[in-house]
Chains A and B, each alone.
Chain A
């Protein structure tokens, strides 16, 4: 369905890192095809797998797969859409069944709870403040608060994965070709066992373990494995030395302002002030997406962060490429990861805190 979406040439050169691949295999059991593009930011490569493979306690595998498809389509991410179709076919979904599920959006043939779940996912993906209505609908249909939190988290994960695939324009031709190969379902019995095997259940986070940037959001997911994964990804992203902390927090602040995610914006501004940012520069950056007091990297990053919120893929890919001469590939990869994380966190925060 997304084949017609314009997609630029990838502006990253893949560079295999054997040590990183060993670490990914040791921890997650696999090396994703795109790891070579993100070897400059090991936390980013780890985060892809940690987030995608997060243990689910409440949301079914079928709904989780559909969320991936719906969010990828919503964000026009050809790479993720093709990957998601491939994963579903590997698990035994026939092409016709996937087509039926895609079409059920038009045919209205999903059960009410599944339809409400996908609608919540779509609204989280769009940063739509009406996500609270779908959240309430799911609660009314018998979903627990933790289940709804897990669903919103899954949608946010795909927002993240879509952006780390879209912003660098990861090559799609091969992935799309694989997604159309006949006979993928023949390995379904093995693939399902591998893909749906449950790791040892992680214990809930203690309050003290939630501490750090966006602690309030991690606390809301503390009873779920998602909370522990989110805490770790946030900590590793902010600990990475490739971009300064201030630059990363500016990205979060701008993304939050764009989405109207008030709680996330407050958190980003609080952390920026703690870090000693010039208050006038911060105010100007948020008011005008420009501040004379910012250094050239921050001055370029601030308007770009806004562009990562809602975009046409080819346009934001061109904008990312234009930053290469100033940032270099390593810092630009890091920026992609941070912008993607900011979009996920701010949307998740808005869905979690929106008034019922």
Chain B
């Protein structure tokens, strides 16, 4: 072959290599961009998920999948329910009802979070909050009662806002109990929630139902009361039989 032919061949080879190089660089850039986008999406989902579950739970799910492994913990359960919610629902248009309820949940949620609680479940207009479920909390009963008092104050403040707008005011009943339960992710692949399973939550719910009978807004059991100090004003409210549970439970009003 002539030198010119060799030169042309070399030129073609170099051009070919250059084209391959550019193609590879472009492909790598495209893949990096796709990876970055995927990671951003994952982070966005991570942050969104955090609205539904504490960071701790999110981390566990990411690390181990939606593992159902539970652990037995001592917890304080707070059960709150609105009084007269049926009448409320029929007295205002649906969109106003949701606005009122969401405003209520926002304030109650803040009071719970500020006192180291975890809002486990919303059931209609009811709230289940747990203290000591995510990790050991030596002061969980104190926190739960402080949260209940903060919720009372928040409700009073919210009612002033509602009254100023000519909207119906709210009233609630809160029950608290302390005991052991199994904490973990409960549900099906379609719907999971972090909660505590066991009698502790059920007893708190029964105690909440007693608030109407006993004309109180916040009731606690002896199991909670024995962990409190004198800063919490408690009035004995007698012993009560709780539906579905044997024996009697000593109850106190949290003043």
Interface residue A158 (Cβ < 8 Å from any Cβ of B):
no
Neighbour of B42 across the interface among A106, A257, A260, A287, CB < 8 A: A106
Interface residue A208 (Cβ < 8 Å from any Cβ of B):
no
- Which residues of the other chain, B, contact A258 by a CB distance below 8 angstroms? 138
* A107 CA / B62 CA spacing, docked (Å): 11
B229 adjacent to A284 (CB under 8 Å):
yes
State whether A106 and B39 are in contact (beta carbons under 8 Å apart), knowing that A284-B229, A289-B142, A290-B229 are contacts in the complex: yes
B39 adjacent to A103 (CB under 8 Å):
yes
B43 adjacent to A106 (CB under 8 Å):
yes
Interface residue B114 (Cβ < 8 Å from any Cβ of A):
yes
Neighbour of B139 across the interface among A99, A106, A284, A288, CB < 8 A: A288
Neighbour of A315 across the interface among B32, B46, B114, CB < 8 A: B114
Least distance between A262 CB and chain B CB atoms (Å): 11
Least distance between B44 CB and chain A CB atoms (Å): 11
- Which residues of the other chain, A, contact B138 by a CB distance below 8 angstroms? 257-258, 286-287
Interface centre among A1, A106, A107, A286 (most CB of B within 10 A): A106
- Which residues of the other chain, A, contact B136 by a CB distance below 8 angstroms? 260
Interface residue A163 (Cβ < 8 Å from any Cβ of B):
no
A289 adjacent to B139 (CB under 8 Å):
yes
Least distance between A74 CB and chain B CB atoms (Å): 9
- Which residues of the other chain, B, contact A103 by a CB distance below 8 angstroms? 35-36, 39, 42-43
- Which residues of the other chain, A, contact B62 by a CB distance below 8 angstroms? 106
- Which residues of the other chain, A, contact B36 by a CB distance below 8 angstroms? 99, 103
Interface residue B231 (Cβ < 8 Å from any Cβ of A):
yes
- Which residues of the other chain, B, contact A312 by a CB distance below 8 angstroms? 113
Chain A residue at minimum C-beta to C-beta distance from B40 = A103
Chain A contact residues, majority secondary structure: helix
Least distance between A315 CB and chain B CB atoms (Å): 7
A288 adjacent to B142 (CB under 8 Å):
yes
* A107 CA / B39 CA spacing, docked (Å): 7
- Which residues of the other chain, B, contact A96 by a CB distance below 8 angstroms? 32
* A287 CA / B138 CA spacing, docked (Å): 8
Least distance between B63 CB and chain A CB atoms (Å): 9
Chain A residue at minimum C-beta to C-beta distance from B136 = A260
Interface centre among A1, A288, A312 (most CB of B within 10 A): A288
Chain A residue at minimum C-beta to C-beta distance from B232 = A288
State whether A1 and B43 are in contact (beta carbons under 8 Å apart), knowing that A103-B36, A257-B138, A288-B142 are contacts in the complex: yes
Against B, the Cβ 8 Å flags (1 = close, 0 = not) of A263-291 are 00000000000000000000010111110
* A257 CA / B35 CA spacing, docked (Å): 43
* A284 CA / B138 CA spacing, docked (Å): 13
Least distance between B190 CB and chain A CB atoms (Å): 24
- Which residues of the other chain, B, contact A107 by a CB distance below 8 angstroms? 35, 39
Against A, the Cβ 8 Å flags (1 = close, 0 = not) of B221-255 are 00000001101000000000000000000000000
Chain B residue at minimum C-beta to C-beta distance from A258 = B138
Chain B residue at minimum C-beta to C-beta distance from A303 = B139
A288 adjacent to B35 (CB under 8 Å):
no
* A106 CA / B169 CA spacing, docked (Å): 46
* A52 CA / B228 CA spacing, docked (Å): 42
Chain B residue at minimum C-beta to C-beta distance from A306 = B139
Against B, the Cβ 8 Å flags (1 = close, 0 = not) of A112-154 are 0000000000000000000000000000000000000000000
* A282 CA / B114 CA spacing, docked (Å): 25
Against B, the Cβ 8 Å flags (1 = close, 0 = not) of A230-273 are 00000000000000000000000000011010000000000000
29 contacts between A and B (CB under 8 A): A1-B43, A96-B32, A99-B36, A99-B39, A103-B35, A103-B39, A103-B42, A103-B43, A106-B42, A106-B43, A106-B62, A107-B35, A107-B39, A258-B138, A260-B136, A286-B138, A287-B138, A287-B229, A288-B139, A288-B228, A288-B229, A288-B231, A289-B139, A289-B142, A290-B229, A290-B231, A306-B139, A312-B113, A315-B114
Chain A residues engaging chain B, CB cutoff 8 angstroms: 1, 96, 99, 103, 106-107, 257-258, 260, 284, 286-290, 306, 312, 315
Additional 19 contacts, C-beta under 8 A, given A103-B42, A106-B42, A107-B39: A1-B43, A96-B32, A99-B39, A103-B39, A106-B39, A106-B46, A107-B35, A257-B138, A258-B138, A260-B136, A286-B138, A287-B138, A287-B229, A288-B142, A288-B229, A289-B142, A290-B231, A306-B139, A315-B114
